[in-house]
Amino acid sequence: MSKDGKQQPNSSDKIDRRKFIGVAAATAGAMFINPALVHGSAANSAVRVGLLGCGGRGTEDATNLVDTGGARVVALGDLFRDQLDAARAHFDKIQQAKGYAAIDASQLFIGPNAYQQIAASQELDAIVIATPPYYHPRHLEAVVTAGKHVYLEKPVAVDVPGALKVIEIGKRAEGKLSLDVGFQIRDCPPFVEMVRRIHDGALGKIVCGEAHYLTGYIDRPAWPDASPAEHRLRNWVYDRVLSGDIIVEQNIHVIDICNWILKAHPLKASATGGRQGRPAADGDAYGNYNVLFHYPDDVDVTFSSTQFAKGWWDVTERFFGTKGTSQSPYTGPLGIWGDEPWQAAGSPAKDKAEAQAFSVTGSFTSNLEFADPEKKKAFVESINSGNFHNQAAKGAESALSCMMARTAAYKGREVTWDETMKSSEVWDPKIDLNKLR
């Protein structure tokens, strides 16, 4: 009986969320949640999340799942003890306020086999994968094979065989699990509204476009006591094979938006790039790219990027059509100008102090303020509702678009989509994780 005197349903009348999802998944033929693991407490009604890769971006992703998605982080996995310990302290602190227990020691997985151990945990519903991009296809396969929902950070892979592998894994997950890829801008309200209007014809026929991702250098610790292999792994963002290079690892957000707006991938690309402006000894990733993408319907899009610039940053896409022009910066006026004008309300001026924050962790304010919260909320809702997402193919398409431009810059000639898709080159960092000291 409630305080207002109304009869309340007893426990046998309530539908347990985990049992509902478990039945739905079993119906779809998936390995999923074991009903025997359902505990029924308020804390356990939250989607149980594991974080694989406890660096800045992974911690940001999982924190948003807790804060805005109503999830609970119950397991952590990382190659390095110090990163795992820092993440454990962080999540224990923020989840204590929600009445959740501290992360159990049995759910802490360290070392080269951590990805297999966290995937095999029976205490999880979903796993965030935020490891160095080179490992994404391998880690994704382990998680999907174990029947866990997955939030995979971008890029999905660093080479073409890896991207094609992700597409294949996505087909296995279809209708059985949610598989989200970390393109949070596609869930950001002002961007969603702008793209909807463009797709409804607000620009008329799109003639051409331009985009850029101009940002400063990403500072990382020197790690003077680390072995060469450990140094590469800890500072993987400097490493071409581990990261995919800046156009695949960081610039991909902008190219993904171009694909989203144009509802297509580029057919060919010509490009230049180099390491000019970067410290000589920081690795082998490029410091700048300049690309001409050729999209269907004779739409050309120019793209430029830096990862060394001093005193300035800007990330923007612009499209020019027969009825108007669109602009979608991370910070600044966002909207459509022309015959059918529309501008997002409250687009603030650029904050110089924000440059390094968005470069390193993806922690945004301004036009992207709601990107992460909305993305994570949608991911959790897809699990709870059984309306599972599958973003593997789109995530791979954007990665392959970037790989095509990267290859054009490396080879100094135009590269086509068809040529890219036939590539069998497998990138290999030649690191034996079992020999790390």
Same domain, 210 and 145: no
Residue 194, in any domain of the structure: yes
Over 90: is that where the pLDDT of 355 sits? no
Q: What pLDDT, in 10s, does the model give residues 179-193?
A: 999 999 999 999 999
- Structure tokens belonging to residue 392: 């593997």
Same domain, 299 and 359: yes
Residue 381, in any domain of the structure: no
DSSP 242-292: HH--HHHHTTHHHHHHHHHHHTS--SEEEEEEE-TTS-TTS-S--SEEEEE
- Rounded mean pLDDT, 30-56: 64
Same domain, 145 and 31: yes
Total of domains in the chain: 2
Same domain, 173 and 278: no
CATH number, position 411: 3.30.360.10
DSSP 399-418: HHHHHHHHHHHHHTS-EEHH
Same domain, 208 and 148: no
Same domain, 232 and 121: no
Over 70: is that where the pLDDT of 23 sits? no
Over 70: is that where the pLDDT of 3 sits? no
pLDDT value of position 437: 65
Query: Residue 84 in contact with residue 160, Cβ under 8 Å?
Result: no
Q: Looking at per-residue confidence, does 281 or 194 come out higher?
A: 194
Flag the least confident range among 42-51, 53-62, 116-125, 140-149.
42-51
- Enter the DSSP assignment of 390: B
In the chain, what percentage of residues exceed pLDDT 90? 83
Q: What pLDDT, in 10s, does the model give residues 70-104?
A: 999 999 999 999 999 999 999 999 999 999 999 99
Among 154, 182, 210, give the residue marking a domain's end.
182
Mode of pairing for the β-strands spanning 335-338 and 324-327: antiparallel
CATH number, position 165: 3.40.50.720
Among 153, 182, 211, give the residue marking a domain's end.
182
- Rounded mean pLDDT, 397-407: 98
Q: Residue 345: which pLDDT band, with cuts at 50, 70 and 90?
A: confident
Same domain, 226 and 310: yes
Same domain, 205 and 327: yes
Range of the domain at 144: 11-182
Q: What is the mean pLDDT of the chain?
A: 89
DSSP 181-195: ES-GGGG-HHHHHHH
Same domain, 96 and 113: yes
Residue 260, in any domain of the structure: yes
pLDDT value of position 348: 52
Residue 370, in any domain of the structure: no
Residue 374, in any domain of the structure: no
- What pTM was estimated for this model as a whole? 0.87
CA distance 433 to 1: 58
Same domain, 70 and 143: yes
pLDDT value of position 347: 57
Same domain, 111 and 218: no
Same domain, 399 and 293: yes
Over 60: is that where the pLDDT of 365 sits? no
Number of H helices, E strands in the chain: 15, 15
Residue 235, in any domain of the structure: yes
Among 136, 164, 182, give the residue marking a domain's end.
182
